[in-house]
Amino acid sequence: MNANIHTDIMKNSETIFEAAERILTTASRLIRANTFCVASNDTIFSHVFKSFNRDVSIIDEGAVLPYNEAYCHLVIEKKKGILHIEDNFLHPYTKDMNVTQAIGSLSFVGVPIVNKEGQVFGTLCAFDHNHYPFSSEDLELLGSLAVYFSYAVDMDNQIVQLQKAEAEASRTLQEKANLLAFMGHEIRNPMNGIMGMAALLNDTELNEEQSEYTKLLLKSGDSLLSVMNDLLNYSRIDASEMELDLIELNIRVELNELMQLFAKEAQRKGIHLNCTVAPDMPDVLTADVNKLRQILTNLLGNAVKFTENGEIRVSVSWQRNENENQLLISVSDTGIGIPPSAMPRLFEPFAQFHSQADYGGTGLGLAICKRLVERMSGSIQLQEKVGPGTEFTFSIRVHVPVLA
């Protein structure tokens, strides 16, 4: 077995020790030999990490022996299978070994522990000073216990590899977030300067062609900044950087400000904006207002983008039970809708269901909404809707302060 994997397993998991305890308990109950042990081997040392001594202490738990001086290496290197020695003083493999003189005359059985890739983890051994006569049934039992233990080794190996993969993925996500943050800073600063100068230029006396160019420059700049903001927001969420920042808010005030934000574009497109809040809605809630704004901004932005001469309706209510309060919000429109074929990928990042040339965007809006809603202990879904358009509903956990 690879030495690094061996070390990681021994350090990081309790499963292997529990399995060793079980097989030694079973072996000592069914076989009347004095000593049983499980040893791991890394071709340099044999590590006895679990042992059982009935009457006489032969092998101590925690003992470390040079690999070539331990009986384990005979099982692995010479026999390459179950090794049964009736008397170690007489057997050609063991009679001249230094360890034989140290432990005295005994009978011995060693079984290799081999994982599914054929790598040898170590050995399951049994010793007896009274030369216990190991039967064929005993050897079969020890072989079965070694196989069982090999399953625990495989499981530990998989756990170690998964932990390494998770750590590597986390590191990669953090590096990606750092890179995007750096790029965002390097792009947004000069872009804001360009946008500011373009806005100033647009306020000067320009002919019709120059004015058209300036407006196109401002529109393109807005699109680029929107893309950068989506990428940065998604990377921060993906890297688990967004913590909840709970503050008090008035949902009616928040919705009124958001509706005003989209009012001009909605009016230009002939869209009627409608917002209703349940009469029993508390005046004050506690939630992460910035994340709530971002969710609603994305949903309302999509609704305005994909609707012409129609209506956008926002409905807000709340649900109270013994353990928590849920804020329930629905955003519906009469726009072009979402094709049924797109449903499986609806909340996936970079998923786009309509012509990018016509509507633009990064395809991250709904993915960001889903991540933010879930961070706030809620859920989001697309509702079945009669007629044209779409209806998204989401819920988030909120706190209702107790008034004195």
CATH code, domain with 139: 3.30.450.40
- The pLDDT score that the predictor gives to residue 80 is 78
Let me know if residue 278 belongs to a domain: yes
Q: What is the structure's pLDDT at 89?
A: 96
Same domain, 291 and 197: no
- Give the Cα separation of 255 and 266 in Å (integer): 15
**Which residue, chain included where needed, has tokens 């690999």?**
67
Which of 164, 186, 208 is the last residue in one of the domains?
Answer: 164
Picking from 45-54, 70-79, 235-244, 374-383, which range would have the lowest pLDDT averaged per residue? Answer: 235-244
Instruction: Count other Cβ atoms within 10 Å, centred on residue 327.
Output: 22
pLDDT of residue 5: 39
Same domain for 265 and 140, yes or no, is no
Q: What count of other Cβ atoms lies within 10 Å of the Cβ of residue 75?
A: 27
Residue 403 lies in a domain: no
> Does residue 293 surpass a pLDDT of 80?
yes
Q: Does one domain contain both 157 and 176?
A: no
Residue at a domain's end among 216, 238, 260: 238
Q: Please give the tally of structural domains in the chain.
A: 3
Side-chain-facing half-sphere of 81: CA atoms under 13 Å: 2
| Domain-ending residue, one of 164, 190, 223 | 164
Question: Average of pLDDT values for 142-169?
Answer: 87
In this structure, the answer to whether residues 204 and 267 fall within a common structural domain is no
Q: What is the pLDDT of residue 2?
A: 42
The answer to whether 44 and 134 are in contact (CB under 8 A) is no
- Assign 46 to helix, strand or coil: strand
| Tokens coding 8 | 């990681």
| pLDDT interval class at 3 (50, 70, 90) | very low
Domain of residue 51: give its range: 3-164
**Backbone dihedral region of 104: left (phi > 0), alpha (psi from -120 to 50 degrees) or beta?**
left
Higher pLDDT, 346 or 104: 104
Compute the distance between CA of residue 300 and CA of residue 309 in angstroms, rounded to an integer: 15
Residue 12 has pLDDT above 50, yes or no: no
Axis crossing angle, helix 251-268 with helix 289-305, rounded to the nearest 10: 20
Q: What is the reported pLDDT for 338?
A: 84
- Comparing 359 with 62, the larger pLDDT belongs to 62
109 and 71 part of one domain: yes
DSSP code for 360: -
Same domain, 311 and 348: yes
For the segment 185-202, what is each residue's pLDDT rounded down to a tens digit? 677 778 778 888 888 888
* Range among 60-64, 142-146, 156-160, 357-361 rated most confident: 142-146
Mean pLDDT, rounded, for 12-22: 76
- Indicate if 157 and 192 belong to the same structural domain: no
Shared domain for 215 and 252, answered yes or no, is no
